[in-house]
Amino acid sequence: MTQDCIFCRVARGETDSEVLHQDEHVVAFRDIAPQAPHHVLIIPRRHIATLDELGPEDAPLAGHMIHTAARLARDLGVAGEGYRLVFNCNRHGGQTVFHLHLHLLAGRPMHWPPG
């Protein structure tokens, strides 16, 4: 954990984020600037800056993040209509917060290709 990382602060419960799920490994909370009717971020509690830092030992954690997102989509009632999961990595990926996070976007049709 780092002192000044905003998502580490969320993971420590130091913000007024709307948390939808938390367990030993991950926290899921609503995005502060939602890009869809449902916009949830799933983060690892451990500070990992980018997807580029993941090692093979992190595969269970990454799988848990994806499984958590899929379960939340079902709980939110959007799984049937569908949703999008996104990891933005570094500058060309559009990453702005350097603590790994998985976006769950749902509640409207998504377009392809993305911008």
Tokens of residue 2, six digits:
């780092």
- The pattern of x and - marking residues 58 through 97 that bind ligand AMP according to CB under 6 A reads ------------------------------x-----xxxx
Tokens of residue 49, six digits:
């800056």
- 101 catalytic? Reply is yes
Collapse the DSSP code of 111 into the 3-class scheme (helix H, G, I; strand E, B; otherwise coil) and give the result: coil
Where does this chain touch ligand AMP (CB under 6 A) — which range of 27-35, 48-56, 73-81, 106-114?
Answer: 27-35
83-86, strands of its sheet edge to edge: 19-22, 26-30, 38-44, 102-106, 83-86
Q: Does 33 bind ligand AMP (CB under 6 A)?
A: yes
Q: How far is the CB of 14 from ligand AMP (least distance, A)?
A: 10
The closest alpha carbon to 36, from 102, 107, 86, belongs to 107
Q: Does 110 bind ligand AMP (CB under 6 A)?
A: no
Residue type at 35?
Answer: Q
Active site residues: 101
Residues in touch with ligand AMP (CB under 6 A):
6, 15, 17, 31-33, 41, 88, 94-97
